[in-house]
Copies of this chain bind each other. A is one copy, B any other.
Amino acid sequence: MSNFSKNRFCPTEINQQELRQRAYNQRWAELPEGTIPLTAADPDFPIPEAVQDSLKEYLKGGYLSYGPPAGLPEFREAAASRFSARDGIDLSANRIVAIDSAASGMVALARAYLEAGDEMLIFDPVDFLFSHGADKAGAKTARFKITASDEIDWDLFESLINPRTKMIGLCQPHNPLGRNFTEPELRRILGLAQKYDLWILADEIWSDIVFQPSRHVSMLSIDGSAERTLLLQGTSKSFGLAGARIGFIALPDSSHVENFLEKSGALYTSFGAATLSQIAAIAAWNRCSQWLAEFVTHLQSQRDFACERLARLAGVSISKPDATFVLFPDISKTGWSAEALSEHLRQYAKVAVVPGSERWFGPGAIGHIRLSLATTRDILDEALNRIESNWPV
């Protein structure tokens, strides 16, 4: 326990009673009492107090009238300045649009930038929302297989680009592999996007959760990327705000914004983000950097703790992720399928994990399970004890 972080995430600060009321998406509220959910990437920790305080203060104003289509001016400013400063980029508020979650933004961007029959080139495995977005736009996906750390064969990657390809979907850092693409890798992706005139849909929702000595490199920090990058950000991973449904997209310029507001329906109030949720995000970005730093420190310690123990299990191969709070061990050598193993763990260990099924992550996920680390050390320890005691190999 030497690397057990001493911060507000330790010792136990979570309220299981509240979580059983409020944490859905395969978590506490949806599982039998006694089962530990290491499922959806949603922290077990309460939101920062500064977010609660900002919301209470805003409510005193008394009005929850219609907000503007692109989001409150103060929201757009806060997003632009926070991410400009963090990523060393020059992002202006007039390129920002508030969205009701990165998931919703993924679909809206796909619908705005792809047409039926177009193709999006995505990595395999990767979060299902990329193919979900393409699907809603009537587009197809082509998948390029990667691992947590292997060199990328760029010729093979390029060979998947064809005349129907209109977009590259990038998850940076990468869920579920925890891979943090390097600057040279992002340059290669941009170079191909330039060569074939493709959009880059850069989902950087995990970019706050990067472990030392790695650091986040935003696609927008690569010279020449701005004009073809559609950046996607959210607050569910960094600040536990999944239920607030709030994130933003950054587009190449204000004319793209006008076009997106029209196509998404935001101009007509049929798409948009709640103003209260925007206030929550502003507080998270402006007032919670210490909270976030402690959260990431805790997660890094959780990662080290869990990787070491999972690596000792028979038939498990695991790489330590540079980013994200999910682990994605390869369990194919156990001889169990991910689905059967997950079911076994749920039944006997009373621990819920996400099977690396093709449906959720693509064919490259087969033979893996995904576990979330965003809980207390005590709960993670207990979950690992139970997994070890009930490991079927």
> Which A residues are within 8 Å of any B CB, using their own CB?
15, 18-19, 21-25, 27, 29-30, 40, 42, 46-47, 52, 55-56, 59-68, 100-101, 103-104, 106-107, 128-129, 132-133, 136, 236, 240-246, 265, 268-277, 280
Contact = CB atoms under 8 A, between A and B. Distances in A.
Given A65-B19, A276-B243, A136 B269 contact: no
Contact of A52 (B25, B40, B59, B272): B59
Contacts of A268: 103, 128-129, 132
Contact of A132 (B23, B25, B27, B270): B270
Given A65-B240, A133-B270, A136-B265, 9 more contacts: A18-B61, A22-B67, A55-B276, A66-B242, A101-B272, A103-B268, A104-B270, A245-B272, A276-B277
Contact of A24 (B18, B22, B56, B65): B65
A275 B27 CA distance: 16
Contacts of A277: 274, 276-277
Nearest to A52: B59
Contact of A27 (B66, B100, B128, B272): B66
A40 to B, nearest CB: 6
Contacts of A19: 63, 65
Given A268-B132, A277-B276, A59 B55 contact: yes
B63 A46 contact: yes
A64 B100 contact: no
B64 A47 contact: yes
A38 to B, nearest CB: 14
B240 A64 contact: yes
List the 8 closest pairs (A to B, CB-CB), nearest first.
A46-B62, A25-B66, A243-B275, A64-B243, A23-B65, A103-B270, A103-B269, A66-B242
A27 B246 CA distance: 24
Given A18-B61, A274-B274, A68 B100 contact: no
A275 B377 CA distance: 28
Contacts of A242: 64-66, 269
A65 B107 contact: no
Contact of A129 (B29, B107, B270): B270
Contacts of A246: 274
A191 to B, nearest CB: 30
Contacts of A129: 268-270
A62 B18 contact: yes
A268 B103 CA distance: 8
29 contacts: A15-B63, A19-B63, A21-B61, A23-B66, A24-B65, A25-B269, A46-B62, A46-B63, A52-B59, A55-B276, A56-B56, A64-B244, A100-B245, A103-B265, A103-B268, A104-B265, A104-B270, A107-B265, A107-B270, A107-B271, A129-B268, A132-B268, A136-B265, A242-B269, A244-B275, A245-B273, A246-B274, A274-B274, A274-B277
B132 A15 contact: no
Contacts of A42: 65-66
A99 B305 CA distance: 41
Given A55-B59, A274-B276, A277-B276, A66 B243 contact: yes
A244 B277 CA distance: 8
B62 A24 contact: no
A276 B276 contact: yes
A374 B315 CA distance: 67
